[in-house]
Every structure is written in structure tokens, then in C-alpha cells.
Amino acid sequence: MAIKERMSGNEAVAYAMKQINPDVMPAFPITPSTELPQFVANYIANGEMDTEFIPVESEHSSMSAAIGAEAAGARTMTATSSCGLALMWEVLYVAASNRLPIAMAVVNRALSGPININAEHSDSMGARDSGWLQIYAENNQEAYDNFLQAYRIAEHKNVKLPIMICQDGFITSHAVENIELIEDELVKPFVGEYNPEHYLLNPEEKMSVGPYAVSNYCMEAKKAQAVAMENAKEVILDVAKEFEQISGRKYGFFEEYRLDDADYAIVAIGSACGTIKDAVDELREQGMKVGLLKVRVFRPFPGEEMAEALRHVKSIAIMDRCEGYNANGGPLGAELTAALYRAKCNAEVINLVYGLSGRDLRVQDAKAIYEDLADIAANGLKDSHYRYIGLRE
């Protein structure tokens, strides 16, 4: 029987961390992820976890300590946001290239400047090409469920890559919602124990981690890393099927909300999808065939699968909660537009930047986007394909 509870997104992820009870957590506080190491430290102090908590002097040190712990054979996690993730930049690549399945809770927050502490995807999207898996949540329930699945994906023998479990700062991290927790006796066997085949403290095996690679060898290592990212797609779906058996909740690369017969579709990531669903329901009642494709997995990028789900749609708005600064839109817009082109999709596509630094996306904003999509499908694209939503006049 599921445990019904009311929790913020940070509380929910911390509870998942407690249930998993990994070996090591190095962490440095930064808003809005500060509560995660705080909750874990409390669990440890109260005897509810036996994780080794390592206080460090910076986020760079946090990820460096995580790399050392994971390389030594310890299941390791950490948490960060915004500039903390940016300070880890150098060592993010080290973790991924060394094939270390660290789990990191990323509470999405705008990168400076101007300085802002509210929701934006510029932090994790900036790290999208660092070699980490990335999974995003719409709400607190998904943030909890995604973290429970994270190690099963990252530690799989065909993957062995670090993973970011992302949620929107304050919108989900601090807002309290009803949630269903899974019993410990189901979580423990689902996550399993971590028994790495290769690790630094294995007395039966001599090895090095992070050596200098000359040109004769380095490219092959990078190709192996790319293959692991490709392999992750199948593993993500397999783990989701197993998770459905213990939770009753179904997950995939993305969610199709009233999309099967839609003429006009929005593609988005994160908490804004709840608002967009309300707009979809209202417009459906008025007879307008609209739908939503909510992206859950951004790395590996399921472009082919998304293009297939959108093949029948007449016009599409791809929404980015960060700016790509390429004078053409955001990262989701760029990658999905390319996938739609390769799939020879005939839909008109626009890329919308919204919600920067925590600015609200309202139901009426989403409805206006659908109305614009209907006009584009009927009369063609008259304005720029790259626009901002919600700017002050």
C-alpha cells in the first residue's frame, strides 16, 4: 500500500535519498537546493541513514569528492543549483568520461547575470553536452520517482554514466503537494546494492582513473562514452517498466497529453507543463484539437521518438526555459527542430523562450500560443519563428 504524504519537491527527493541510503554524499549549499543536504544531514544525525556526509568548501570540491568516492567503489550522490553547477563544469566532464554513475539532484535556477534565484533551465541545459544523463520532472511526485530510478539507469553495465535528476527551483522544490511514497521494502530491492566490477580500491585489480590519453586512444574512449549514452535509451525504458510494477506510475522518454489526434502541439519541459495541460483541457472543451508533448528525458535526446509522436501535427511550438544565445532560440528548440527535419515532418515549427528567472507562464499565455499555432497552420508563418513569451511591454 502506497504511503500518502504531503511534501515539497526537495523533501520528496531527500526522502528518496534516505530510502536509497548511498555510501557517500559530498555537498555544498546553494539556493534552492540547500535543503537537500540539510535534510540528509538531519537523517544521518537521527540515525536514519548511514551515508558518509562530506562538507566541502565549494561545488567544484563537491563534485571532485564525488568522483573520488565513486571511483573508489562507493555509491555517491550530491545536489546543486545554478552557479554551483557552473562551478562544477570542469569536473562534470571528468565524472562522465570516467564512466562514474554519480546521481546529482539539480534544482534548476537561473545562471547569473543579473543575479536571480528563481526557476530557469540555463544551468542544466548549459551542461547538456557534458556527457551526463538528464531527466526532468513536472511535479514533486515525478521528482521523487525519477530519483528512485536514477541509480538503476546510471549503474547499468551498458551505461555507467552520471545522471542529473532535475526539478524547477521553488516551483516544485519548495511547493508542497500530495505525493505517494513507496514502502522501503519495495524500494530497497528495486534499487539494489552497488557492486561495481572495476574500482580503485579493488585489491584484485590494478587500474588508474582519469589518466592522460594520447591521440591514439582518446577518440575511442569518447566513442565508447557516446555508445553508452545510446544504450541508456533502452535501459531507461526497461527501468521504467519495472518501476511501474512497484508504483503503478508509468514513465517513458516523454508524456503525450491529449496528443494522439491533436492538430496543434506544444513541446515543453518541467513544471510549466501542468499549466499547459490546463490550457489544453479548456481548449478541448471548446472543440480545439490541441495537445502537449512533455519532455522527461533530455539526455539521451529522444529526437526520433518525439518526431514520430508529432508527425501528424500541423504546427508546433517548442518552448525553452532558457536562452541559447545563438540568435535562433533555445536548446530544446534547436535539437527537436533538427529531429523533425530529419524525420521530414511538414509541421510549421516555432521556438518560444519563456519563464526566464522565474517569470510565470499563465494558462491564458498557453491558450494564446495554441491560437497562434492555429493561425500559423491556416495562414503560414508571418512573424519570426523565434520569440519571447511574457515580456513586459
Confidence at 1, pLDDT banded by 50, 70, 90: low
Q: Does the pLDDT of residue 209 top 90, yes or no?
A: no
The SS3 call for residue 51 is: coil
The percentage of residues in the chain with a pLDDT greater than 90, rounded to a whole number, is: 94
Give the mean model confidence (pLDDT) for residues 354-362.
Answer: 97
Give the mean model confidence (pLDDT) for residues 371-376.
Answer: 98
Helical (H) or strand (E) element with 9: helix 9-20
Distance (Å, whole) CA 292 – CA 280: 8
Task: Note the pLDDT of residue 12.
Answer: 98
Across the chain, mean pLDDT equals 97
The percentage of residues in the chain with a pLDDT greater than 70, rounded to a whole number, is: 100
Q: Report residue 205 as a C-alpha cell.
A: 585489480
Q: What is the pLDDT of residues 238-290, one digit of tens each?
A: 999 999 999 999 999 999 999 999 999 999 999 999 999 999 999 999 999 99
Task: Note the pLDDT of residue 293.
Answer: 98
User: Is residue 108 within 8 Å of 79, Cβ to Cβ?
Assistant: no
Strands 24-27 and 52-55, how do they pair?
Answer: parallel
Q: What is the pLDDT of residues 19-75, one digit of tens each?
A: 999 999 999 999 999 999 999 999 999 999 999 999 999 999 999 999 999 999 999
As a dihedral over the C-alpha atoms of residue 205, residue 208, residue 209, residue 215, rounded to 10 degrees, the angle is -130
Task: Note the pLDDT of residue 373.
Answer: 98
Confidence at 210, pLDDT banded by 50, 70, 90: confident
Which letter does DSSP use for residue 343 in this model? Answer: T
Confidence at 383, pLDDT banded by 50, 70, 90: confident
Task: Note the pLDDT of residue 106.
Answer: 98
Q: What is the pLDDT of residues 79-90, one digit of tens each?
A: 999 999 999 999
Confidence at 11, pLDDT banded by 50, 70, 90: very high
Please give the angle made by the CA atoms of 83, 85 and 89, to the nearest 5 degrees. Answer: 110
Distance (Å, whole) CA 107 – CA 34: 9
User: Is residue 10 within 8 Å of 36, Cβ to Cβ?
Assistant: yes
Helical (H) or strand (E) element with 264: strand 264-269
* Domains located in the chain, CATH noted: 3-247 (3.40.50.970), 254-388 (3.40.50.920)
Distance (Å, whole) CA 233 – CA 230: 6
Distance (Å, whole) CA 246 – CA 244: 6
Task: Note the pLDDT of residue 388.
Answer: 97
pTM over 0.95? The answer is yes
Confidence at 2, pLDDT banded by 50, 70, 90: confident
Q: Does the pLDDT of residue 207 top 90, yes or no?
A: no
> Starting at the edge strand that comes first in sequence, how are the strands of the sheet with 133-136 ordered?
77-80, 103-108, 163-168, 133-136, 297-299
Q: Does the pLDDT of residue 109 top 90, yes or no?
A: yes
Alpha-carbon Rg for the chain, nearest whole angstrom, is: 21
Task: Note the pLDDT of residue 208.
Answer: 83
Distance (Å, whole) CA 83 – CA 65: 18
